[in-house]
Amino acid sequence: MRIVYLICPNCGKRFYIHEEFAGHGYDWFCPFCQYMFKEGGQENPSNKPAPSPQIPASTDYTM
């Protein structure tokens, strides 16, 4: 498994994605603060804050 690190533009924490998905401009979310962003640190226009610390923020962008 090869990985690529991403830095969350919101909380600054580091997490990683599988290398095979890197460089394609996909949406990602920070597992720590649930912030949605595109690769390279751009904010995802559809980003909204997580409704609850217990619920993944991805709730918001998939419903």
Partner 1 sequence: MPKDLRGHLEDVERSLPSEIVTIDREMDPAFEVSAILQQLDEQHKYPLCLFTNVRNLKGQPGHKVVSNLMASRRRLALAMGMDPENSQMGLSLEIEKRAAYPVKPIIVPRDQAPVMEIVRRGEERDLRDFPVIRQHEMDGGHYFTMGFVNRDPDRPLYNASHQRLMVRGPSETGMCMAPFHTWRIYQENAQRGRSTPSVAVQGHHPLFFLACAMRVPYDVDEYDVVGSLMQEPLRVTPSQTWGEELLVPADAEICIEGEILPNELKPEGPFGEWTGYYSGQRQGEVFRVTAITHRKDPILVNVFAGHRDHTPPIGWESEVFRRVKGAVAGVRSVCIAPSGNGMHCYISIDKTSDGEPRLAAMAAGSMGFFKLIIVVDSDVDPFNEQEVLWALAVRFQAHRDLDIVRGVLGSMVDPSMDQPRTHSLLILDATEPKDRPLPQRSRIPLEVMERVKLRDYVAPEALERLR
- Residue ranges that bind partner 1, judged by CB under 8 A: 1-4, 15-18, 20-21, 26-29, 31-32, 52-56, 58-60, 62-63
Q: Which is nearer to partner 1, 9 or 56 (CB)?
A: 56
User: CB 51 → partner 1: shortest distance, Å?
Assistant: 9
Q: How far is the CB of 48 from partner 1 (least distance, A)?
A: 12
- Burial zone of 54 (CB within 10 Å; 0-12 exposed, 13-18 middle, 19+ buried): exposed
Q: How are beta strands 14-18 and 27-29 bridged, if at all? A: unpaired
Neighbours of 10 (CB within 10 A): 18
